[in-house]
Amino acid sequence: MRVTNAMMSNRMLTNINRNLGLLDKYNTQGSTGKKIQVPSDDPIIASRSLKFRTMLSETEQYAKNASDATSWIDATETVFSNMNKILTDMKGLMTQGSNDTYTTEDRAKILKEYNSLLEQLEQELNSDYMGRSLFSGFRTDEKPIIKDANGNNILNPNVYGDGATIDPVTGQVIEVQVGAGITVGINSVATDIYDQDDYDNLRGGTTTDANGNPTTEFKRIMDILESKVDAVLPDGTTKRWSDMTDEEKLAWEKHPDNDIRGLMETTIKTIEDYQSKLSVQETDIGVRSKRVELVQTRLEDDKLNYSTVKSQNEDANIAEVMMNFNTANSAYMASLNIGMQITQITLADYLR
């Protein structure tokens, strides 16, 4: 078989291009730090990379969900802590007011401060997290406590139900997915924390005012002591507190219906009972907090594991790449030198 100069040149160019291709491959790997640039470079590495990237992306999303759940739970725990502090102050006021050395006017001042703390306690239930009400179940745009026409705190019927068309939010637990098939309930519901009985009992219980309208015991007494309504004296007559004589005030105070000191003593037990109820909710949210904390730890471990296997699969070994690059570069330079020697020979060299 006769080998022509054209055949030698074509073969030489083919080999030079092959060596140049290898040189480009290792140069690209060293520049990008990746074993492959397109799936066709290595379909197996490409398919594994897609799988690991998907797993890592899912884990990062679950970790974000867990972080949001932790923030919600932390906000809830803060509210419970604040409520406990307020209840302790309320109990201190009732203990102080039940002392025999205080006058009715002194107890009126204590009741006024107590009512202020009670209003603050209820406002804690209106706390939110990133614009979403913490304790309103799925109705996160509603506040559990609202104001009535007179500016008094009342339970929001859109949260507690109106007994007719609107159902209470009882059982409406907001769940966050923190893993494949794993969800965690993050919220406590207002109906479990503070209901109508709590509302009435912390105000001394329900009663009726001088006009026969339903009210609470503390409000009835405060309205009388602040001369907003008439007081009914033991003889059946009515009179404003500010217009009463000392004898009339004493007679009014001694009536069993107006036993403010006794009512304050009873309220101490009411506050303690409510603290016990709140403690149950604190324990429940604490358990959920611990569960989310454990899930977060596992997710962080998963993120590290998936990142490691992903890196092992698709990241180039720079030391190995440099060695291959130098080898390919040497082969390329050698092919150029040999090619140069071959192309210098012509037919005239054989005719001498």
Supply the DSSP string of 134-150, one letter for each residue. TTSTT-TTS-SEEE-TT
Mean pLDDT of 133-154: 94
Tokens 């001394």 sit on residue: 204
What mean pLDDT, rounded, does the chain reach? 89
The percent of residues above 90 in pLDDT, for the chain, comes to 58
Contact 291, 184 (CB under 8 A): yes
DSSP character at residue 140:
T
Q: Is residue 228's pLDDT more than 80? A: yes
For residue 257, give its domain range: 52-306
Is residue 288 in some structural domain? Answer: yes
Q: In the structure, what pLDDT confidence band is assigned to residue 80 with cuts at 50, 70 and 90?
A: very high
Helix/strand number for the chain, H first, E second? 10, 10
More confident residue, 347 or 159: 159
Task: Give the end-to-end CA distance of the chain in Å, rounded to a whole number.
Answer: 23
Q: Give me the number of domains the chain comprises.
A: 1
pTM, full prediction: 0.81
Is residue 188 in some structural domain? Answer: yes
Query: What does the buried/exposed string (b/e) look like for 150-189 if buried means 16 or more CB atoms within 10 Å of the residue's CB?
Result: eeebebbebbbbeeeeeebbeebebebebbeeeebbbbbb
Mean pLDDT of 19-31: 80
Contact 166, 175 (CB under 8 A): no
Is residue 46 in some structural domain? Answer: no
What pLDDT shows up at residue 332?
A: 77
Is residue 206 in some structural domain? Answer: yes
Tokens 């890196």 sit on residue: 311
What pLDDT shows up at residue 290?
A: 94
Q: In the structure, what pLDDT confidence band is assigned to residue 12 with cuts at 50, 70 and 90?
A: confident
What pLDDT shows up at residue 78?
A: 96
267-301 pLDDT, tens digit per residue, is: 999 999 999 999 999 999 999 999 999 999 999 99
Q: Is residue 331's pLDDT more than 60? A: yes
* CATH number of the domain enclosing 261: 1.20.1330.10
Mean pLDDT of 21-48: 83
Is residue 41 in some structural domain? Answer: no
Is residue 341 in some structural domain? Answer: no
Mean pLDDT of 93-99: 93
Is residue 42 in some structural domain? Answer: no
